[in-house]
C-alpha cells in the first residue's frame, strides 16, 4: 500500500532516509513530501517516530475533479460509514490549485457536506465539526484536475510535539529544527561525546529537539502518548499501543542516560524565560543550561560545555589511583561539539547583516574547532557570517526560501569590510512614495483628527503590501502594521523576498519607525475569509484614539489588529446616531462600534459574537473608556441563533458578518447564502424609525435586492463609508442602510 508523508520543501531526501530507517519498504522523494510503500502500521510508526514529516496521509479516494460538483460527487462515493460514526467529530483541511476550484475553505466544505450527507442517509445522524481536535481529520488536495482525499493519521501538524508552552515572535518549527540538527550530524556527534550549543536560542526549539533526539524520545510521544492520534475506523489501535509501549521503554532508558551537554543563550530575557518553560514541559528542566547574553558579548562557552583539559583529567586521576590514571590517559577525547542557530531573517524578524557578522565573530572566538549548522535567510546572509561553509542546503521555512550552512570546522572565509548600509533604488522609491502620501494626507488627518490610517496599499505594484500607521494615545509614538500580499505564483520567491525587504527598509526610513515598533505579517485573504490564527504570544496591547473613543489594538499576536481602519467613517456615524438610542452590534468582533455607540451616548448597547476572545477584548475596550453597568450587555452566541430567539427592539443595528465560518459551536455560515435570513431577522428587531447598517468585504457578494426589498427599504451607501486613505481600494467593503418597510 502507498501513503504520503508531507514535509517542508528541502527536507524530502532527509525524510525519505528517515522513513526507510523506520522500516518502510520504499520511500521516494517527491515535491514537499515522500511517497511511501508500507503497511498501515508503518504509517502509524511514522506518526510516532518521524522528526521531519509534517503530516502522514493515508489515501481513501482519488478521482477527476474538474469542478465543485465533481468534488462533491467523488467524495460522496467513499463508503464513509466504514471510516467514521455519526457520533464522531470531523474536520477537513484543503489545499487547492488551478482554475476550477480556487477557494480552499469552500472545497473543504464540499467534502464535509459529502461526508455528512452519506452518514445522514446511512443512519439519520450527522457528525459534528471540530476544527481543533476532531476524531477524524481528512486532508484534501486538488491539483491539475485531480482530487485526493486522505486520512490525516496524526490528527494535525506533526511539528507540534506537545511540549511548547510559549514561543517567540517567529518560532522555528520542530520539524525544521530536526533537519538543522540532522544536517549537522548531531546524533552521531552526541554519541561521540560532543555537546550542543545555541548562542541565539530564542524559545529553545533547537536545543530541546536536540536533547530529545539524544534521549531517544519519540517526537510523537508527548503529543499522542495517552491519546489516539485518530479515531478513524481503519486505525490499528492494538498496533499503536504496542508502538507506544516500546517508545516509552526506550524513553526511560534514554532519559536515564542523558548527559547534560546542552546550553543556550539569547539577548532577550523573555526568550530565555520561554525556553526554560518549554524545557520543563519537555522533561528537560535540568538538562539544558540557559543564559542571557547577546551574541556580541559571547567570549567563552558555558561552563558545562567547556572540554575537560588534560591537566584536569590527570588531577582527577591522581585522586582515584593508578588504574584511573591509566584509564584517563587512554580515554578518547570527546568529539568537538555542534553549534546550531536560527538567527533572525524572515519577514517578521527582518534580517540584519551586522548581526550575522557578530555571530560569525563569536563562533570563531569561542568554538573554532566545532561544527556549525546555521539556518540563514539566504546565501548572502550566510556569507555575512564570514564562515567557510562545507555545504549549503536550500530549505523552506514556511514559504520562505532559506539557506542551511554546515561549517566543519568553524573557519573564517575571506570577506570585504562591512560598508554602511544604504537604501537600494527600490527602497528609496518606496520611501519617496510614502513621503508623498503623508504630505498629501497631512491636512485631512489634522482636520479629522485621524491618528490611525493606511499609509500605503500596493501603490507600487511590485511592492505588494499594505502599511497601516497606529499612533499610541498616550505617548504619541508611531507603530507600523505591515501586511504582505501573496505574490503571483510566477514570481520567484527570491524576488518576492527582496522586494519585501526593500519595502520594509523604505517604510522605516520614510515613517521613522524603528524595527521593534513594526509588526509584519503575510496575508493572502481579506478579513472576512480569514481564520484569525495566533501568530505570536506577546500579549502587548496598544491604546489608540479614534474620534472620542479609546480602543485597544494588538499588532503582533493576530492576523488582524482588532480595529478595521476602513470602517472608521461608519463607526463615527454610529457614534453620532446612537445618542439616546438602543444599539445592537451583531458579529461584534472586538466591539469598536459598540464603544463608539456608548461614547456617543447610547442608552443601551447589546453586542453579540461567538468568540470568547473577542468578547473579552470588547470588555477591555469598554473599561478603557470607563463604560460599564447593566446597560451594556455582552452575549456569547451564534448571531443567527441569537436573533431567532431575541425579542428586543433596537434603534440602531450594525451587522458586519464574516464571509465564511465553520465554528464547531454553531452551524456553518456563508454570508452569501445566509444574508437574506440574517437581514430579515435583524430588521424585524428594528424600532419603527430604526436603522440597520449592513456591511461586508466579500468581493463576490451580491445582495439579493428583490428578496430584501420585501421587508426593508435599502440604500447602498458604500461611497460615503469609504475613508480617503482607502480610496485607492474602493472594493474593500460595501455598506447598505436598511429601514423597516412598513405595511
Secondary-structure class of domain 2-152 per CATH: alpha beta
- Which pTM does this prediction carry? 0.59
For the cut 80, the answer to whether the pLDDT of residue 688 exceeds it is yes
Q: Which residues contact 264 (CB under 8 A, 6 or more apart)?
A: 197, 198, 199, 201, 204, 206, 207, 272, 275, 288, 289, 290, 291
Using DSSP, state whether 470 is helix, strand or coil.
strand
User: Average pLDDT over the chain, rounded to whole?
Assistant: 89
Q: Is the pLDDT of residue 156 over 80?
A: yes
- Parallel, antiparallel, or unpaired for β 549-553 and 542-546? antiparallel
The answer to whether residue 261 scores a pLDDT higher than 70 is: yes
Per-residue pLDDT band at 411 (split at 50, 70, 90)? confident
What's the pLDDT at 23? Answer: 95
Residue 721: helix, strand or coil by DSSP?
A: helix
Q: Residue 170: which pLDDT band, with cuts at 50, 70 and 90?
A: low
The beta strands (E) that lie in 423-517 are given as 453-457, 465-471, 478-485
Average pLDDT over residues 320-338: 54
Residues 404 and 375: beta-carbon distance below 8 Å = yes
320: pLDDT strictly greater than 80: no
Same fold, 2-152 and 174-215+259-407: no
Average pLDDT over residues 481-490: 88
Contacts of 684 (CB under 8 A, 6+ apart): 711, 740
What whole-number distance in Å separates Cα of residue 292 and Cα of residue 278? 16
Sign of CA dihedral 474, 478, 479, 484: positive
Cell numbers placing 22:
523506520
Nearest to 588 by CA among 567, 604, 609: 609
Calculated CA dihedral for residues 38, 40, 42, 48, nearest 10 degrees: 150
Cβ atoms 235, 228 nearer than 8 A: yes
- Whether 386 and 415 have beta carbons less than 8 Å apart is answered as yes
The answer, yes or no, to whether residue 316 has pLDDT greater than 90, is no
The whole-number average pLDDT for the span 145-153 is: 97
Domains of the chain, residue spans: 2-152, 174-215+259-407, 422-524, 561-743
In contact, 318 and 311? CB cutoff 8 Å: no
For range 285-309, the mean pLDDT: 85
Compute the average pLDDT of residues 199-207.
96
* Model pLDDT for residues 34-49, shown as the tens digit of each residue: 999 999 999 999 999 9
Burial of 403 (0-12, 13-18, 19+ CB in 10 A): buried
- Residue 665 CB contacts under 8 Å (≥ 6 apart), including other chains: 610, 638
pLDDT, residue 396, reads 87
Distances (CA, A) of 52 to 41, 204, 227, 250, 334: 18, 18, 21, 20, 28
Structure-model confidence comparison of residues 732 and 348, the more confident one: 732
pLDDT confidence of residue 489: 79
For the chain, counts of helices (H) and of strands (E)? 22, 30
Residues 68-108 have pLDDT tens digits of 999 999 999 999 999 999 999 999 999 998 888 889 999 99
Q: What is the mean pLDDT of residues 525-553?
A: 69
User: Going edge to edge, which strands form the sheet with 146-152?
Assistant: 26-30, 33-37, 2-6, 55-64, 146-152, 136-143, 89-96, 128-129
Residue 117 near residue 76, CB atoms below 8 Å? yes
In the predicted model, is pLDDT for residue 332 greater than 80? no
**Is the pLDDT assigned to residue 532 strictly greater than 60?**
no
Percent of the chain with pLDDT over 70: 90
Binning pLDDT at 50, 70 and 90, where does residue 355 land? confident
* Residue-level pLDDT at 307: 60
Q: Which residue has the higher pLDDT, 681 or 515?
A: 681
Is the pLDDT score of 228 beyond 50?
yes
Residue-level pLDDT at 529: 38
Spell out the residues 6+ positions from residue 1 whose beta carbon is closer than 8 angstroms to its own: 37, 38, 39, 40
Give strand ranges (E) for 242-352.
262-266, 288-292, 338-341
Low-confidence winner among 400-404, 412-416, 488-492 (lowest mean pLDDT): 412-416
Is 537 a residue whose pLDDT tops 70?
no
Range list of β-strands (E), 144-229 = 146-152, 196-198
CA distance 739 to 229: 52
Nearest to 525 by CA among 612, 565, 466: 466
Structure-model confidence comparison of residues 381 and 439, the more confident one: 439
User: Mean pLDDT lowest for which of 15-29, 518-532, 564-578, 639-653?
Assistant: 518-532
Please determine, for residue 538, whether its predicted confidence score (pLDDT) is greater than 80. no
Please say if the pLDDT value at position 405 is more than 80.
yes
Q: Is the pLDDT of residue 359 over 90?
A: yes
Query: Do 716 and 736 contact (CB within 8 A), yes or no?
Result: yes
More reliable by pLDDT, 324 or 14: 14
**Superfamily (CATH) of domain 422-524:** RNA methyltransferase domain (HRMD) like (3.30.750.80)
Q: Are 203 and 538 in contact (CB under 8 A)?
A: no
- What CATH number should be reported for the domain whose range is 174-215+259-407? 3.40.50.150
Dump pLDDT digits (tens) for 416-471.
444 445 788 999 999 999 999 999 999 999 999 999 999 999 999 999 999 999 99
The reported pLDDT for the residue numbered 497 is 82
Structure confidence by residue, pLDDT tens digits, 580-634 = 999 999 999 999 999 999 999 999 999 999 999 999 999 999 999 999 999 999 9
Residue 106 vs residues 69, 83, 669: alpha-carbon distances, Å: 12, 22, 11
Position 157 scores a pLDDT of 95
CATH H superfamily, domain 561-743: Vaccinia Virus protein VP39 (3.40.50.150)
Question: Angle at Cα 673 formed by Cα 672 and Cα 674, nearest 5°?
Answer: 100
Q: Compute φ and ψ for 162, nearest 5 degrees.
A: 110, -5
Is the bond preceding 648 in cis, omega lying within 30 degrees of 0? no
Amino acid at each position: 500500500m502507498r501513503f504520503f508523508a508531507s514535509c517542508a520543501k528541502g527536507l524530502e531526501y532527509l525524510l525519505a532516509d528517515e522513513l526507510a530507517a523506520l522500516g518502510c519498504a520504499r520511500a521516494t522523494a517527491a515535491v514537499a513530501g515522500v511517497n511511501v510503500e508500507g503497511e498501515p502500521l508503518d504509517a502509524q510508526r511514522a506518526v510516532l517516530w518521524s522528526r521531519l514529516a509534517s503530516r502522514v496521509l493515508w489515501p481513501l479516494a482519488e478521482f477527476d475533479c474538474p469542478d465543485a460538483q465533481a468534488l462533491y460527487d467523488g467524495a460522496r462515493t467513499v463508503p464513509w460509514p466504514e471510516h467514521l460514526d455519526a457520533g464522531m467529530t470531523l474536520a477537513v483541511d484543503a489545499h487547492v490549485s488551478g482554475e476550477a476550484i480556487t477557494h480552499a475553505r469552500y472545497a473543504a466544505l464540499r467534502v464535509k457536506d459529502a461526508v455528512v450527507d452519506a452518514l445522514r442517509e446511512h443512519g439519520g445522524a450527522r457528525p459534528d465539526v471540530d476544527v481543533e481536535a476532531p476524531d477524524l481529520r481528512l486532508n484534501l488536495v486538488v491539483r491539475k484536475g485531480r482530487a485526493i482525499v486522505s486520512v490525516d493519521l496524526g490528527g494535525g501538524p506533526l511539528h507540534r510535539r506537545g511540549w511548547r508552552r510559549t514561543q517567540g515572535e517567529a518560532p522555528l518549527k520542530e520539524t525544521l529544527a530536526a533537519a538543522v540538527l540532522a544536517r549537522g550530524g548531531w546524533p552521531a556527534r552526541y554519541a561521540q561525546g560532543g555537546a550542543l550549543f545555541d548562542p541565539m536560542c530564542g524559545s529553545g526549539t533547537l536545543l530541546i529537539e536536540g536533547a530529545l533526539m539524544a534521549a531517544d524520545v519519540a517526537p510523537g510521544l508527548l503529543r499522542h502518548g495517552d491519546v489516539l492520534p485518530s479515531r478513524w475506523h481503519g486505525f490499528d489501535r492494538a498496533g499503536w499501543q504496542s508502538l507506544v509501549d516500546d517508545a516509552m521503554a526506550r524513553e526511560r532508558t534514554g532519559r536515564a542516560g542523558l548527559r547534560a551537554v546542552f546550553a543556550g543563550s539569547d539577548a532577550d530575557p523573555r526568550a530565555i524565560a520561554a525556553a526554560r518553560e518549554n524545557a520543563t514541559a519537555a522533561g528537560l528542566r535540568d538538562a539544558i543550561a540557559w543564559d542571557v547574553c547577546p551574541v556580541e558579548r559571547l567570549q567563552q562557552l558555558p561552563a558545562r560545555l567547556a572540554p575537560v583539559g588534560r591537566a584536569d583529567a590527570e588531577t582527577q586521576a591522581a585522586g582515584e589511583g593508578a588504574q584511573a590514571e591509566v584509564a584517563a590517559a587512554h580515554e578518547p577525547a570527546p568529539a568537538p561539539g555542534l553549534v546550531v542557530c536560527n538567527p533572525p531573517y524572515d519577514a517578521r524578524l527582518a534580517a540584519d547583516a551586522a548581526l550575522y557578522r557578530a555571530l560569525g565573530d563569536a563562533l570563531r572566538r569561542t568554538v573554532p574547532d566545532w561544527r556549525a549548522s546555521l539556518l540563514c535567510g539566504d546565501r548572502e546572509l550566510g556569507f555575512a557570517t564570514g564562515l567557510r561553509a562545507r555545504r549549503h542546503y536550500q530549505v523552506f521555512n514556511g514559504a520562505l526560501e532559506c539557506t542551511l550552512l554546515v561549517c566543519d570546522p568553524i573557519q573564517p572565509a575571506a570577506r570585504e569590510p562591512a560598508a554602511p548600509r544604504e537604501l537600494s533604488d527600490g527602497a528609496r522609491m518606496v520611501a519617496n512614495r510614502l513621503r508623498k502620501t503623508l504630505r498629501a494626507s497631512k491636512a485631512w488627518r489634522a482636520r479629522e483628527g485621524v491618528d490611525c490610517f493606511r499609509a500605503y496599499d500596493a501603490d507600487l505594484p511590485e511592492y505588494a503590501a499594505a502599511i497601516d500607521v497606529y499612533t499610541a494615545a498616550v505617548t504619541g509614538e508611531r507603530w507600523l502594521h505591515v501586511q504582505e500580499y501573496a505574490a503571483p505564483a510566477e514570481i520567484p520567491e527570491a524576488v518576492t523576498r527582496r522586494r519585501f525587504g526593500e519595502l520594509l527598509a523604505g517604510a522605516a526610513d520614510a515613517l521613522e519607525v524603528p524595527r521593534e515598533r513594526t509588526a509584519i505579517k503575510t496575508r493572502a485573504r481579506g478579513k472576512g475569509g480569514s481564520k484569525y490564527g495566533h501568530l505570536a504570544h506577546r500579549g502587548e496591547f496598544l491604546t489608540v484614539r479614534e474620534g472620542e473613543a479609546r480602543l485597544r489594538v494588538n499588532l503582533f499576536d493576530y492576523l488582524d489588529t482588532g480595529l478595521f481602519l476602513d470602517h472608521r467613517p461608519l463607526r463615527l456615524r454610529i457614534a453620532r446616531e446612537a445618542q439616546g438610542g438602543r444599539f445592537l452590534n451583531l458579529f461584534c468582533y472586538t466591539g469598536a462600534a459598540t464603544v463608539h455607540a456608548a461614547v456617543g451616548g447610547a442608552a443601551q448597547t447589546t453586542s453579540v459574537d461567538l468568540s470568547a476572545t473577542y468578547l473579552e477584548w470588547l470588555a477591555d475596550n469598554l473599561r478603557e473608556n470607563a463604560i460599564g453597568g447593566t446597560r451594556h450587555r455582552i452575549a456569547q452566541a451564534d448571531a443567527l441563533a441569537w436573533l431567532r430567539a431575541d425579542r428586543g427592539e433596537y434603534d440602531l443595528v450594525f451587522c458586519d458578518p464574516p464571509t465564511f465560518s465553520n465554528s464547531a459551536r454553531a452551524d456553518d455560515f456563508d454570508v452569501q447564502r445566509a444574508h437574506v435570513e440574517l437581514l430579515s431577522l435583524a430588521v424585524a428587531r428594528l424600532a419603527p424609525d430604526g436603522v440597520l447598517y449592513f456591511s461586508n468585504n466579500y468581493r463576490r457578494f451580491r445582495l439579493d435586492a428583490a428578496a430584501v426589498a420585501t421587508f426593508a427599504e435599502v440604500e447602498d451607501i458604500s461611497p460615503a463609508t469609504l475613508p480617503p486613505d482607502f480610496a485607492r481600494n474602493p472594493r474593500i467593503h460595501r455598506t447598505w442602510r436598511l429601514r423597516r418597510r412598513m405595511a
